[in-house]
Amino acid sequence: MTDDPGVHSHRLAWRYGLALVAIIFVTLLPLLSLFAASFIANVNGCALDEGNPHPCLVLGSDVGQTLYNMAVGGWLTIFTLPIGAGAFILWLLVLVVHSWRR
The pLDDT tens digits of the residues spanning 37-76 come to 999 999 999 999 989 999 999 999 999 999 999 999 999 9
What is the tally of structural domains in the chain? 1
Task: Tell me if 66 is assigned to some domain.
Answer: yes
The Cα 33–Cα 25 span in angstroms is 12
Task: Tell me if 68 is assigned to some domain.
Answer: yes
pLDDT value at residue 100? 80
Q: What percent of the chain has pLDDT over 90?
A: 73
Quickly state the pLDDT bin for 90 (edges 50, 70, 90): very high
Q: Return the ∠ at Cα 82 (arms to 92 and 32), rounded to 5°.
A: 95
Find the domain containing 30 and state its range: 15-87
The Cα 56–Cα 68 span in angstroms is 10
pTM exceeding the 0.85 threshold for the entire prediction? no
